[in-house]
A = this chain, B = another copy of it.
Amino acid sequence: MLDDRKLAVLRAIVEDYVSTNEPVGSKALVDRHRLGVSSATIRNDMAVLEEQGYITQPHTSAGRIPTDKGYRLFVDRLSTIKPLSAAERRAIETFLSGAYDLDDVVGRTVKLLAQLTRQVAVVQYPSLTRSTVRHVELVPVAVNRLLLVLITNTGRVEQRVIETPGPVSEESIGHLRALLNTCLDGCGLSEVPTAVAELPEKVGADDRPVVASVLSVLLETLVEKHEEKIVFAGAANLAAVDFSRSLRDVLEALEEQVVLMRLLGEAGDSSSVTVRIGTENPDEGLRSTSVVVADYGVGDHTLARLGVLGPTRMDYPGTMGAVRAVARYVGQILAGS
């Protein structure tokens, strides 16, 4: 259906268009790439490619630009992920290893990725679902208020204020804290509900109401924080590209947690790096953007995702390389801390 030369032509079109941002014509193609045939031949090939929907012309008698379908073919079959240079890898490593807590790791990662790709970087905080309880802390902060602090093995710290039905003695708190820790230590977060089910029965009748309120907040925390936190950086890079009026839409989309969520969340799985191009994208405002996403995690279980968002006209091999590399390093850093 598409012979080798036609594929080569498509590849050349994508590459040229990405680097020049101008529709590319048959003449320019034969000049810049050694295709060994004349421009007329290329024109015929281009006509076929257009008919099949891989490229299109902005207006009659202009050059061609790739369609989303064209980019898709390019990504799937015509390009390979471009590894970062040694210097870049070293830079990533030293930059990330300077981080001292989870917030810092995530913050540095997102900045790094934005700078590396000159696009908008998006990083999701490590998921709680797979983590286990390292420690639970109860701190009295007022006469009928407790602060619940939950520390996980991934270094994440969750905090919530609990309103207790009445005053609680230091002693009860200590007791409850001990109970919680013994029954939750090392417990997977998804198992917490069953692990605490029996708890109320182990305390004196006086403390029952308190325990109930603590547990309800605890379970609530697990559920709510399940909607992961996502940060992004590099919005300034959007301004460099010409999004005409849709820039506003893109910025708006970026500020919606839910949208970011879907952006990363619905990405396919299997391979190391996933790409979603233009209209493949679920969200309205992001129809003219592409997303490159990768999982990261320690060992072989995934903690969360990170990625890059940019115009469909982006350097896919390079971006994919950067995303993959950063994802790996973040995994390493998290494993070591």
Contact = CB atoms under 8 A, between A and B. Distances in A.
Contact of A337 (B100, B161, B238): B161
Contacts of A147: 134-135, 151, 155
Contact of A251 (B101, B161, B236, B248): B236
Interface in A133-170: 134-135, 137, 139, 141, 147, 149, 151, 153, 155, 157, 159-161
A239 B247 contact: yes
Copies in the complex: 2
B255 A239 contact: no
Interface bracket on A: 20 to 34
A191 interface: no
A251 B239 CA distance: 8
Given A135-B139, A251-B235, A255-B233, A149 B160 contact: no
B153 A151 contact: no
Given A139-B135, A151-B149, A240-B248, A161 B233 contact: no
Contact of A101 (B101, B161, B240, B254): B161
Interface in A229-266: 233-236, 238-240, 247-248, 251-252, 254-255
Interface of A: 100-101, 134-135, 137, 139, 141, 147, 149, 151, 153, 155, 157, 159-161, 233-236, 238-240, 247-248, 251-252, 254-255, 337
